[in-house]
Structure 1
């Protein structure tokens, strides 16, 4: 497994002439911490973050300025061949929330975020069980049942008020994306 297997691709990016206001909109719309800045050939030139954009965007004089004025040109990136361990080490040591992934020619091909790395550390069944627990907690207001998952088959056990509640829980579990089957037991 390497960066190509973990990264989000294609990467959302801006170019140096994108305005501060437009880059702020992209950042806000996608919920990202930062955006890679690439030239017309897709080569990584810099990074612009919310910290860079906020002060510039607050001033009417600089809101329409190009991102090139506020971006950081010194960029830490990783090659497509980097392992998840290498990506994690780089991100932790440099305190990065995201890491651009580039080819040998510095062409941006993707971005790895902390959540991308966490996703590979968390088995799919654990994620599915957590989603079901969240749905059940929203229904009951508190954790009342034990949830486990194996290959998309979800088991829920614990006390039910009555047969109707058991059926509601079973139906609710089936609405969670990724659930292939349910088993509900007292």
Structure 2
């Protein structure tokens, strides 16, 4: 009933810096520093994502730079000790990459990032081809929508649709992303739904629902 939810495609960055499996260690480190990112997709062929190489993947080389790991540490941290001796992306990257599709919703992307403890996701099509990258900061872009834009969205896609006969008696105000609905409506049972749908509008921080049922004099 509300406007179409924002998707990853709406907020992702389409200009993506990527490396190939044979990219060397120093070139990876230089790209991370130059582009101020924490991770890079690793692609092969026509852009198919095969992994992700991050700062964390590079750190073991520095950690074990002045001393080799002991036998127990080698056994306990096989992955890290292997990366410490690696020089190319194919041996440094985390694979398979955790990716997401462009049509995924922002809550889906946020849940995946939280569940996997990662800060950004390569965005791929059905063939696994890189289309963009979405970061935590990208997911917050919806909260940059203006109060006027949010007011219009709630009025058009919530109030007018739920209360076609009494929508003119409803006032919608938004201040700093917090929406307030006041007024009288004819169908009391729809008030909780109005509050819930207003909450679902992308960019709304909170909702104060003060709607009341209209009573005939």
Scaled to the shorter chain, the TM-score interval is: 0.5 to 0.7
Q: What is the aligned partner in structure 1 of residue 141 from structure 2?
A: 119
Matched, 1:82 2:111: no
In structure 1, which of residues 17, 20, 41 is the aligned counterpart of residue 25 of structure 2?
20
Matches within 5 A, 1:73-152: 73-124=95-146
Q: Partner of 1:42 in structure 2?
A: 47
Larger Rg: 2
How many aligned positions are there? 126
Contact residue 20 and residue 57 of structure 1 kept, 8 A = no
Unaligned regions of 5+ residues in structure 1, if any?
126-147, 150-186
Q: How far is 1:110 from its partner? A: 0.5
Q: How big is each residue's C-alpha offset from its partner over 1:74-127, in whole Å with a ceiling of 9 and x where there is no partner?
A: 2111111101111111111211100111000000101100000112223357xx
Q: Deviations over 1:23-46 (max 9, x none)?
A: 111011111111110002100000
Q: Which runs of 5+ in 2 are unaligned?
A: 1-5, 66-83, 148-174, 177-217
Q: Distance in 2 between matches of 1:57 and 1:29?
A: 19
Q: TM-score, normalised by structure 2?
A: 0.53
Provide the C-alpha distance between the structure 1 equivalents of 2:113 and 2:97, rounded to a whole number of angstroms.
12
User: TM-score w.r.t. structure 1 length?
Assistant: 0.61
Kindly report the root-mean-square deviation, in angstroms, between the aligned alpha carbons of the 2 structures: 2.4
Runs of 4+ in 1 over 4 A off after TM superposition: none
